[in-house]
Structure 1
Amino acid sequence: MRFFAGKSSTSKGKPKRGDAPDPAPLQFDLDRWLDICGIILLALAALTLFGFLSTQRSPILSGWLEIVGRLFGWGVYLAPAVLAALGVYLLVRRFGDRFPRFRPKRLGGAVLAYLTALATLHGLTMIAANDIDGAAIAAASKGGGELGWLILSALIGLLGNIGAGFVVVMAWIAAVMLIAGVSLPQLFQAMRQAVTSPRHDRAATDVARVPGAPTDDIIEPDYGRGGGLIIRGLRPRSAPAKRHREAQVAPSAAPSPSEAELPPARTINEVPRSAEPLKINTPASRGQVNRVPPPRIIGAPDVPPGRSATSAVEPLRQSPSAPPPAAPAVTVSSIYPVRRNWVLPKIDEVLEPGSDAAMKEAEIRQRAALIEDTLRAFGVPARVVEVNRGPTITQFGVEPGFNEMKGGKQVKVKVSRIAALADDLALALAAPRIRIEAPIPGRALVGIEVPNGETSLVALRDVMESEEFEVLRRKTRLPLALGQDVSGRPVVADLTSMPHLLIAGTTGSGKSVCVNAIIVALLCANSPEDLRFLMIDPKRVELTGYNGIPHLIAPVVVDLEKTTAVLQWVTREMDRRYRLFAKHGARNIAEFNAKVAPHSSPPTSVLDQSGVGNRASPPDDELRKLPYIVVVIDELADLMMMAPDETEKIICRLAQMARATGIHLILATQRPSVDVVTGLIKANFPARIAFTVATSVDSRVILDGPGAEKLLGRGDMLVVTPEQSMPMRAQGCFLGPVEIERVVRHWRAQLGDAAPASAPHVPEQAATDLPVEPAPAADLFGAPPTWEEARALNEAAREVNAGSKDDKLFNEAVATVRLQGKASISLLQRRLRIGYTRAARLIEEMEERGIVGPAVPGQQYREVLNSPLSGTDEP
């Protein structure tokens, strides 16, 4: 029994496997030391002030005044104010909005000004007393005291008298710049205004309001105990609109985007140390990003000096009573539009601004403390060191702490332990969903993303008016405005570098709104001479509203049986462009357009009395500038259901080769399953956007990892780009149907059509007769026929075959479908090597004779019936 008792006592002393280590004891951290230093500084300031005012001083008080008097000299009278300011700053940094806040650089500027004043005072005292012995003056508690003499003697010993004087002057200028928060040119401008203006007192108060000075001082930074905040003040929304109207009245006075000083980028700061405060980053001010140049006029004549570009088109709006000039309607479109003076739409006229939700700092502080307490309760010590507040979610940057094991050894907390507590954190914060990014890419933090109580509306206009979008717009032809990230910074992308985009999300997640925002952003940035669209909309309601704009090569394709022919035409256009590039020694569309630009001449068109445009012989087809072509497919799942093999083959070929020719694909689907987004398609689309999906399996299909199933919906998305493989969370842009209609109406109005705004300018029949046969041999470069040429060829073939009811390939077609046991148009195209129109006519004839059944919606093939053939021989 004694043996077993000893063994039992020994086993109790060993820690069991799986037991959670004891949480780290409460440490007397640097924040409490700073609080104690603040109290001590306030006590010294009060003691010094009391000594100055008291007539009866104790030996201790007299000794203290003698020490500070000898140390600061005549500057001792300012010592109580300096000590009190430092003490107050160390104490009130943690009280939030109840006390005013101080910027650290202004406090540093005040300290620099005080030390410079001591050195200046000591030097002036030496000059006035004709005494070169500065040490004797300091010993007598005069001048700048020992501290002023120490600074001055060091400068004189290193630089001499003249150098020391120059450094003192520069120190004064630097101190004023730090206190006022202005740059050196702004300071000189303010000094010049103060000298030249008759109102010196008013000019002196305007130093901090010099144009270009920082304007985010409405709410000063605050450094707190493990949760101090840096919050930038938000401007009212009416301010940017007013500045934009003023820029339209006097466009010549407004600085160009290249000359204007760009605001500092909203980059995430480095990870703060344990002694540094928590940072809260809020969305950028609307006023700081509203710098939009006047709309560009493509192909317009030179404007006389002193007249703005917008005034050249102003008479068109100022005379509504005068009848517009009679312009014949162009009813046929091609990839080479007739040159016009295209005017890009003004963003502030066609798009609506967003809205900002109220910022509640107390709620952010409470959530940060609750996250720390919850993690500590589960034995995971951590500290919230950074907060990024976005339009929809708030990301709390958590720094893992250390667990103190028995024996005094400290072990770092595993990131996986924090990620495993997502459900517990959601319960503690009463949040619907919480996503944990462990770790944040490129940071030593774990991101805990919590939904906001009040969300902000991210409008497309807000992103397009940002500096990031304007800079990207000057670099590329295809800028995309996607939304705002978790810290409120605009998320923009370049479609030419993607070079194709895959979008997936369930119904109601914001997928269609994202597609429309991308299209409208491209329409607002490009004329029809630079960009053309091919749109495929099986649902018939998402993209058909764009019918009638000059950017469309053909009306929006809504019939799935025509999509294969459309994609085949795109592949032939890609091959034609590569042949042109090879002939002219260009590697991509940018080099080709740069080479043919000096030789390019405007295309001509002959318009008959009926208003139908007929192609005249252009000067040289191959020397025309090639526009970019963006193919938009709204629902990929329907295409893969109808013809999976052909659709996958064509899409993969275009995705692999079409980038250099200026052809880009944008695919959207609400069912990201493996049979829709196949491995080949996903491998050729490195840029992807995932909205809310049903399961983690769907998220892995689109993103190669989980996460999309935890999104909030209504525009909440994860973005993956070729430059950034890890998903980045963002809130997509919102775009209403009224804004889309304004953009479409703007482009339709420039065509001068007599048809109503809802009628497309391209006949619907033009898209039904698609080019499916090889290009004519007379074409030197194998150029695919335009839509009107393809229509004429198909009509001629139809007239030739109109006389005979039976096709000579009818019997062979019947034998083929009987042998395969199924019938479809694509099957006959592959087996008999015929075009789409002929195969469709054979299928219709077989249906009339009872050989095949009718088409069933949602099924690719028709049923082959067993009825006897009428009028034909059995195969």
Structure 2
Amino acid sequence: MILLALGAACVVASIGGTVVTLSGGKPAAEKDTLHTCFTRARLFIRQRSEKDWVYTYPSVNGHETFEDRQEYTFTLPIGVDPERLHKHFWVFEQGFGPHIDIEGDSSMFTMKVFNKGISQFAYNVSDIPLEGIHLPIVVGKSRSGWEVYDMVENPHLLIAGETGSGKSTQLRAIITTLILTKQPEELELYLADLKRSEFHVFKNSPHTRAVVNDKNELQPVLEYISLEMQRRGDLCDKYEVSNVIDLPFKLPFILLAIDEVALLKKDKKLMPLIEDITAIGRALSVQLIISMQRPDAKLLESGLKSNLTVRMAFKHADDVNSRITLNASGAEDIKDEERGLMLFKHNGMKKVQGPFLSLMEAKKLLKRP
């Protein structure tokens, strides 16, 4: 005999393979599909009893039907790493189709199964909900509406995607939004355009302190930011606060954006400075965005990747690259015609359509000739 524990319930099944159903009032086919996904993703705990193996599976807390989607809420057993769920996102796509989102914290998750995909749309800063966000990073629209997060709370971002996938357009929309919504005394931009293709449009913005095009020009920028972080840390010590936001005076946010950071992977002087920003920058209001066409495992296997807590994965070449970026497959399944569509990893995984902002339109918004 094998004992299968589903949440609080314990179901006895024969080794021959009796179908195990889940609670929640769903059609039998959906119960079986959900349980199959749990099994294939190995979202269970296996323990040996006196005579048998006991398998504890996620407990399904609820199922709701809406006009545009189905929602399933479930809780992982204690001891199951939630990262395993993200790594096996593809399993749930195989079971329920490509139009799914999974959101949640360390144990409770909601899977939304939508009837259709997300439409492309044009950038319009007046449409973006920005109230109450200190340093807004515009992501785009999911099936639930706008996705915008505060970089003060999640200070470092990784963006990856093949040529033509929408990565550069996303960077353009993010930086344009920051320039349009923050005053120059509130935000300093340091931009490294290592492929000389993107950041020139921001060169004359009063927010922009530097636009550099090679690692020789980048080195003094990183050294300056390193010294500024030390100064800010000393101020926090002096005023006995843990974050510069709590100082009795305001300091500007510092945002360093590096396009094609993979070109720096062999530089033993610059990479430690970049890693320092990801390690201690949050409390000092120093944020980092790095982007690359193809994620580099050697570059990201260091402490750098673990501190890049928010990730945007556009079309990837294969599941190996997707796993480097997201620790999960899925980005390789984005179609060529789905430009601007990404897998957005932040408190779960969901598909988001980034806004389309052309270079010409960005120049108009920034009042560039």
Give the TM-score, by structure 1 length.
0.32
Letter of the 1:471 partner, please give it. Answer: E
Instruction: State the Cα deviation string for residues 4-41 of structure 1 (Å, max 9, x = none).
Output: xxxxxxxxxxx9946x86x9xxxxxxxxxxxxxxxxxx
How many angstroms does 1:484 deviate by? 1.6
Q: Which residue of 2 aligns with 1:486?
A: 143
Q: How much has 1:448 moved relative to structure 2? A: 4.1
Name the CA shift for 1:638/1:419 in 2 (closer, same or farther; >3 Å): closer
Match of 1:734 in 2: 356
Matches within 5 A, 1:192-203: none
| Structure having the higher Rg | 1
C-alpha distance in 1 between matches for 2:229 and 2:72? 50
TM-score, normalised via structure 2 length: 0.71
C-alpha contact (below 8 Å) 2:136/2:178 kept by paired residues:
yes
Q: Residue 237 of structure 2: which of 567, 582, 596 is its match?
A: 582
CA distance in 1, matches of 2:293, 2:278: 20
Q: Does 1:472 align with 2:132?
A: yes
Q: Which residue matches 1:658?
A: 281
Q: How many residues align?
A: 308
**Partner amino acid, structure 1, of 2:212:** V
1:37-59 CA deviation, whole Å, 9 max, x = no partner?
A: xxxxxxxxxxxxxxxxxxxxxxx
Asked if 1:630 is matched to 2:287, the reply is: no
Pairing 1:707-746 to 2, within 5 Å after superposition? 707-712=330-335, 713-721=338-346, 724=347, 726-745=348-367
Q: Does residue 639 in structure 1 map to residue 264 in structure 2? A: yes
Query: 2:48 is matched with which residue?
Result: none
- CA–CA separation in structure 2 for the residues paired with 1:498 and 1:450: 31
Counterpart contact for 1:435–1:707, Cα < 8 Å: no
Q: Is the 8 A contact 1:458 1:483 kept in 2?
A: no
Inter-partner Cα distance in structure 1 for 2:93 and 2:243 = 48
Aligned partners of 1:653, 1:388: CA distance in 2, in Å?
Answer: 47
| Contact map agreement 2:322 2:329 (CA 8 A) in 1 | yes
- Check whether the contact 2:319–2:332 (CA below 8 A) recurs between aligned residues: yes
Instruction: Indicate conservation of the 8 Å contact 2:138/2:173, yes or no.
Output: yes
Question: Sequence identity of aligned pairs in percent?
Answer: 29
Q: Alpha-carbon deviations, 1:310-344, whole Å to 9, x = none?
A: xxxxxxxxxxxxxxxxxxxxxxxxxxxxxxxxxxx
Q: Which amino acid aligns with 1:543?
A: F
In structure 2, list runs of 5 or more residues that go unmatched: 1-13, 37-62, 75-88
Instruction: Please tell me the residue identity of whatever aligns with 1:458.
Output: F
Instruction: Give the conservation status (yes or no) of the 8 Å contact 1:535–1:631.
Output: yes
For residue 447 of structure 1, report the CA deviation from its aligned partner: 4.3
Shift in Å at residue 668 of structure 1?
Answer: 0.8
Q: What SS does the corresponding residue of 1:651 show, helix, strand or coil?
A: helix
Measure the CA separation in 2 of the matches of 1:670 and 1:388. 37
* 1:451-502 superposed Cα distances (whole Å, 9 cap, x missing partner): 54xx53334326x535xx23334xx2x1122112223x21110011111111
Q: Is the aligned partner of 1:518 residue 2:174?
A: yes
Counterpart secondary structure, 1:626:
coil
Question: Which residues of 2 match residues 365-376 of structure 1 at below 5 A?
Answer: none
C-alpha spacing 1:677/1:450, structure 2 compared with 1 (3 Å): farther
Letter paired with 2:138: A
Amino acid at match of 2:155: P
Q: How does 1:591-630 map to 2 (within 5 A)?
A: 591-592=246-247, 595-596=248-249, 625-630=250-255
| 2:200 alignment partner AA | T
Question: Deviation string for 1:391-411 (max 9, x for gaps)?
Answer: xxxx544799xxxxxxxxxxx
> What one-letter code is carried by the residue in structure 2 that aligns with 1:732?
G
> RMSD in angstroms over aligned alpha carbons?
3.7
2:241 & 2:309 partners in 1: Cα distance? 25
Q: Secondary structure at the match of 1:632?
A: strand
Equivalent position to 1:671, from 291, 294, 309: 294
Residue 706 of structure 1 is matched in structure 2 by: 329
How far is the alpha carbon of 1:632 from its aligned partner?
Answer: 0.8
Gap change, CA 1:742 and 1:501, over 3 Å in 2: same
One-letter identity of the residue aligned with 1:559: D
Q: 1:566 aligns with which of 221, 244, 252?
A: 221
Is contact 1:460-1:481 (8 Å) kept? no
- Note the C-alpha offset of 1:526: 0.8
SS at match of 2:246: helix
Distance in 2, matches of 1:582 and 1:441, equals 36
1:501 alignment partner in structure 2: 157
Q: Which residue of 2 aligns with 1:181?
A: none
Residues 698 and 450 of structure 1: CA distance in aligned 2, closer, same or farther (over 3 Å): farther
Query: 1:690·1:703 contact (CA, 8 Å) conserved in 2?
Result: yes
Counting helix residues as a fraction of each chain, which structure ranks higher? Answer: 1
Residue 652 of structure 1 deviates from its aligned partner by 1.2
The verdict on how the C-alpha distance between 1:727 and 1:274 changes in structure 2, with shifts beyond 3 A counting, is closer
**Separation in 2, partners of 1:461, 1:669:** 26
Q: How does 1:393-542 map to 2 (within 5 A)?
A: 396-397=70-71, 434=98, 441=104, 447-448=112-113, 451-452=116-117, 456-461=119-124, 464-466=126-128, 469-473=129-133, 476=134, 478-487=135-144, 489-542=145-198
The CA deviation at 1:672 is 0.9
Change (3 A) 1:668 1:388: farther
User: Secondary structure at the residue paired with 2:294?
Assistant: coil
The higher-RCO structure (CA 8 Å, 6+ apart) is: 2
Say which SS state the counterpart of residue 196 (structure 2) adopts: coil
8 Å CA contact 1:397–1:447 kept in 2: the answer is: yes
CA drift at 1:572: 1.3
Partner of 1:544: 200
The alpha carbon displacement at 1:584 in A equals: 4.2
Pairing 1:815-854 to 2, within 5 Å after superposition: none
Greater strand share, structure number: 2
Question: Counterpart of 2:364 in 1: which secondary structure?
Answer: helix
CA contact (8 A) 2:130 2:136 kept: no
Which structure 2 residues correspond to residues 225-374 of structure 1 after superposition, within 5 A?
Answer: none
**Alpha-carbon shift at residue 580 of structure 1 (Å):** 3.4
The alignment partner of 1:701 has SS state of helix
* Paired amino acid for 2:139: L
Contact 1:459–1:735 (Cα < 8 Å) also in 2: yes
CA shift in 2, pair 1:399/1:636, >3 Å: closer
- 2: distance between equivalents of 1:575 and 1:399? 45
Q: Is residue 386–residue 398 contact of structure 1 (8 Å, CA) maintained in 2?
A: no
CA contact (8 A) 2:137 2:151 kept: yes
Query: What SS does structure 2 have at the residue aligned with 1:660?
Result: helix
Shift of 1:535: 0.4
SS of the residue 1:719 aligns to: strand
C-alpha displacement at 1:516, in angstroms? 1.1
Q: Is residue 419–residue 436 contact of structure 1 (8 Å, CA) maintained in 2?
A: no
Q: Residue 577 of structure 1: SS of its match in structure 2? A: helix
**In the TM superposition, what whole-angstrom CA distance separates every residue of 1:171-219 from its partner, at most 9, and x where no partner exists?**
xxxxxxxxxxxxxxxxxxxxxxxxxxxxxxxxxxxxxxxxxxxxxxxxx
Question: Residues 398, 520 of structure 1: CA spacing in aligned structure 2 closer, same or farther, 3 A cutoff?
Answer: same
Structure 1 unpaired stretches of 5+:
1-14, 24-270, 276-370, 379-383, 390-394, 401-417, 427-433, 597-624, 746-756, 759-875
Compared CA separation, residues 659 and 425, structure 1 to 2 (3 A):
closer
CA gap 1:715/1:450 in 2 versus in 1, 3 angstroms? farther
SS at match of 1:490: strand
State the Cα distance separating 1:741 from its structure 2 match. 0.5
Cα deviations by residue, 1:75-95 (Å, 9 ceiling, x for unpaired): xxxxxxxxxxxxxxxxxxxxx
Q: Take 2:305 and 2:73, find their aligned partners in 1: how far apart are those partners?
A: 35
Structure-1 separation of matches of 2:277 and 2:228:
11
The question of whether the paired residues in 1 share the 8 Å contact of 2:194 and 2:261 is answered with no
C-alpha distance in 2 between matches for 1:627 and 1:706: 38
Amino acid at match of 2:296: S
